[in-house]
Structure 1
């Protein structure tokens, strides 16, 4: 592997959704800490959905929605600045519905953070429809903020690795570990049940498959070390009968889990795989989903995002 193939990524600004729920407030504070670690700015986004509401609501109602959104953003920004006084914080009052508002504010290079439960959630374990829509359809990384955000840092960031194709996003996981001043633990789950009844049904063949998986992980780790030579990169192959179960258990002892989102079939709706779906609903720490083909680089402040709310374009008196 060559460092000419792998580049050291630049982590972008953080965009976080604000809806007044406790999970969103916790996500905003976690996102502020993440932006501070990255040395980037934080965008607080409240999607007022006034474009849609304008079809049935009167001007007074729209104005009240905008005012409530501004108050929510201001209160959240005050809470963030109290903890991170030097952090650059902007407020975006979007006229779009929540998924479009968050993705528009992130642009091509930002990272979207969402709480693990919105105002419409039924259970503390369940991710709201907005979070699912963002995680499944975003073209930039999405972090679902889960777990106890006040627990001490573990000094570990985990990359959930499936195969050699994950090399395209592993440098981003390494960049996260570098920002967290943590080791990168690359975990691959070898599930023997997936080979039962296949051509690798003999024990010797299964041992060969396991050895090949270990060799692949070491090769991937070597590639990451070329980009981050001073980082601690630890490849690890776990055995178990449930890949989601092993990763969920691993999430108890790490600060962040990073994983790639699989490519969807031509014409298919955006969706999450089984493992990603399980992690964003049940992990004990934040989970970062990296979309296929995402390329990081010099974001130049990521000025390509939808920042209409920064200039308060919602306040122009239009319904």
Structure 2
């Protein structure tokens, strides 16, 4: 079958470091990702010297910059030891980490952050820098979770809610191709929020079941047409806990890809509750594809 591919170019990789073990793990994971893509790796440290200009003396500001340069040099050295042929650049930013990472990505490529830490890129608790990066970014963001010693499973997992997730599934397909892995599409419908009423959903009506199958089948068929060499598995599950099913499935995946949508009823750049839950509890790295993509496409058309 001839490919009719319209998938994304994944682009370069930018990673934020902060001196924590989580930040170092994220940098090494990002170097593996950049090597797979055959793209450059850019390592950023946001010192926030400008944001603390009133509280830092000139000596303290220079100390922060010196520590940042040392961190960047040490991280770049570790990355080059791991991937000698990789093109690596570093950036010591005077701004805060969120602004620094967004600016460094320049609207293309992928941002990578750790799942916690003690430095500038603080823990990924609600309102923290890490979640702000994920919520505000207009490029894909990967939150590196799981152990560095985790064995590869040969599976990329894509969360599918409806047809609007086709773009994020295409990202997952490209990631699977790079890893020579299978792609698993997983649609989880909350038993208590669905077609008609909770009663019909709990009764397992034909309408409910058919809706699950139509959504998943349409996305799976499109991906199989665009990526004919890719092994694609599609599963539909009904559960009282969408997050619980996806977290459990992430135990057997190398990467979980999902669209980063807003919470229902919220405005502004906010991540939904399911996204928050996965960022906190998934057993593998989580890639969030920004929900603004469709908005920009509509504005341009």
**Where do 1:123-138 residues align within 5 Å?**
129-138=128-137
Total equivalences in the alignment: 292
1:185 aligns with 2:147: no
Q: SS of the residue aligned with 1:229?
A: coil
Q: SS of the residue aligned with 2:151?
A: coil
Aligned to 2:247: 248
Which of 1 and 2 has higher RCO (CA within 8 Å, sep 6+)?
1
Maintained 8 Å contact 1:117/1:128: no
**Where do 1:175-254 residues align within 5 Å?**
175-195=174-194, 198=197, 201=200, 206-254=205-253
Relative distance call for 1:247 and 1:264 in structure 2 (3 A) is closer
TM-score (norm 1): 0.84
**Where do 1:1-319 residues align within 5 Å?**
7-119=6-118, 129-195=128-194, 198=197, 201=200, 206-263=205-262, 268-294=267-293
Tell me, in whole angstroms, the C-alpha distance in 2 between the residues paired with 1:112 and 1:204. Answer: 43
Tell me, in whole angstroms, the C-alpha distance in 2 between the residues paired with 1:163 and 1:15. Answer: 29
Stretches of structure 1 lacking an aligned partner (at least 5 in a row): 296-319
Q: SS of the residue aligned with 1:294?
A: helix
TM-score (norm 2): 0.89
Aligned to 1:304: none
Tell me, in whole angstroms, the C-alpha distance in 2 between the residues paired with 1:279 and 1:196. Answer: 24
Calculate the aligned-residue CA RMSD, in Å: 2.7
Maintained 8 Å contact 2:156/2:253: yes
Off by >3 Å, runs of 4+ in structure 1: 3-6, 123-128, 202-205, 263-267
Relative distance call for 1:196 and 1:293 in structure 2 (3 A) is closer
Stretches of structure 2 lacking an aligned partner (at least 5 in a row): 295-301
